[in-house]
């Protein structure tokens, strides 16, 4: 039985997306619903352990942020700033006229400015300490993603960075929701960003067996829930949501794209990098999110899965989904198109879930050709599926056993 009380919901009034699927909402939605992979060989990775990835196309930081400013920022901050500006504009808000003390910024990230750090470390080795940039620290620190976004948007409220690995973006949105419900602020810029396609990071992921080895066919490499999956494709990107209390959004006649109605988090407490095969931690997070939303299992119509395309993650997640929901919800993993944006994934996929609910269209899981025998759920594949969705959940899991689940409901 549904016990949902919409008085506890927060409104999603703005979205910003800077991902391998494109710049902005419409470019992303067209690519995601087409099911066309963005993975490709990258000349910059010619000497890396894996030579292909999913990159944001046509991103010119100097043009988008100004040359005099952009060079001081690592790429993960650049992506976040552009996505945050998009989201605020989409929400119909103007930082020149809002009360900045009542605007919070909560952004997720997992690895910081690895590109800057590796470049500066090489400069240290080649030329000595006096040639290391004084901007090394502010360019590489994780907290600077929210710091710089706050500076750019004149947001003087609570300013936080969540670091729960690949669950960071979902965690940020959940915490942002709690700040609104507590009355700590009136607007939250919530989401995540990641750009860590550096040689050392890719080597580390490759050595631990997390990455797909399909260099001969990169576009088919990310294949969530497929029987022949062999790892994920590393990616970069940023997703930002503007969150407000429903009453405040209505008072200013804002368009509400959807609602964030529940949030649940847990820890596997099992292993540093492998999910608990029982799925107990994931189940705790899902149950907590549904309880928070006062929503029953039978009400969930769509699930945006974490779906990394790794053998362990997909099998464990599918078992938990089947155990809790049977084969009723339509499940998709958009990582088949975007690859795995690591710390940004939860925010980007929450935005895609909002769009699926708002537009009544479920993206397909790209490259799914033969469903794994152990996957007993309804995975959308082949083509997008038209469906009216009132309740959806978005799953995000990360190294360290971090689990975060969001409940998204129709406006």
What DSSP state is assigned to residue 275? P
Each as own residue / partner, the long-range contacts of residues 326-330 (CB below 8 Å, 24 or more positions apart, any chain) are: 327/376, 327/377, 327/378, 328/298, 328/300, 328/301, 328/378, 329/300, 329/301, 329/302, 329/303, 329/377, 329/378, 330/301, 330/302, 330/303, 330/362, 330/378, 330/380, 330/385, 330/387
Q: Reduced to 3 states, what is the DSSP secondary structure of residue 301?
A: coil
Q: Is the dihedral of CA 20, 195, 229, 173 positive or negative?
A: negative
**Which residue matches tokens 């000349």?**
43
Residues with a catalytic annotation lie at 166, 306, 340
Q: Show the CA angle centred on residue 298, arms to residues 296 and 300, nearest 5°.
A: 85
CA–CA gap between residue 166 and residue 163 (Å, rounded): 8
Structure tokens at 46: 């010619």
CA–CA gap between residue 139 and residue 109 (Å, rounded): 13
């Amino acid at each position: 039985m549904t016990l949902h009380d919409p008085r506890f919901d927060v409104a999603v009034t703005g979205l910003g997306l800077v991902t391998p699927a494109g710049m902005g909402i419409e470019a992303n939605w067209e690519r995601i619903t087409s099911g066309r992979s963005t993975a490709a060989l990258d000349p910059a990775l010619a000497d890396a352990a894996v030579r292909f990835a999913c990159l944001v196309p046509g991103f010119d930081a100097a043009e988008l942020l100004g040359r005099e400013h952009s060079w001081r920022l690592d790429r993960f901050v650049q992506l976040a700033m552009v996505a945050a500006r998009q989201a605020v504009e989409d929400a119909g808000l103007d930082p020149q006229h809002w009360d900045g003390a009542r605007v919070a910024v909560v952004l997720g990230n997992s690895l910081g400015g690895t590109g800057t750090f590796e470049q500066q470390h090489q400069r240290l080795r080649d030329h000595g300490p006096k040639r290391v940039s004084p901007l090394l620290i502010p360019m590489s620190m994780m907290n600077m993603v929210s710091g710089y976004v706050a500076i750019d948007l004149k947001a003087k409220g609570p300013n936080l960075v969540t670091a729960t690995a690949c669950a960071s973006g979902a965690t940020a949105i959940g915490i942002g929701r709690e700040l609104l419900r507590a009355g700590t602020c009136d607007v939250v810029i919530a989401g995540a960003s990641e750009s860590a396609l550096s040689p050392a990071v890719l080597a580390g992921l490759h050595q631990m067996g997390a990455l797909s080895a399909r260099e001969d066919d990169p576009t088919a490499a990310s294949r969530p829930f497929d029987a022949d999956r062999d790892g994920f494709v590393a990616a970069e990107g940023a997703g930002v949501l503007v969150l407000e209390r429903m009453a405040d959004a209505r008072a200013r006649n804002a368009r509400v794209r959807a609602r964030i109605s529940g949030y649940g988090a847990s820890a596997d407490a099992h292993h540093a990098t492998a999910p608990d095969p029982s799925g107990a931690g994931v189940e705790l997070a899902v149950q907590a999110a549904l309880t928070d939303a006062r929503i029953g299992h039978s009400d969930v119509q769509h699930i945006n899965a974490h779906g990394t395309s790794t053998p362990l993650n997909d099998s464990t997640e599918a078992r938990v989904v089947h155990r809790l929901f049977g084969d009723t919800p339509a499940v998709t993993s958009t990582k088949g198109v975007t690859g795995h944006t690591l710390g940004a994934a939860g925010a980007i996929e929450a935005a895609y879930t909002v769009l699926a609910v708002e537009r009544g269209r479920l993206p397909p899981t790209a490259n799914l050709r033969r469903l794994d025998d152990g996957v007993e759920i309804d995975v959308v594949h082949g083509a997008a599926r038209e469906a009216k969705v009132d309740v959806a959940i978005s799953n995000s899991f990360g190294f360290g056993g971090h689990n975060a689940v969001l409940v998204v409901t129709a406006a």
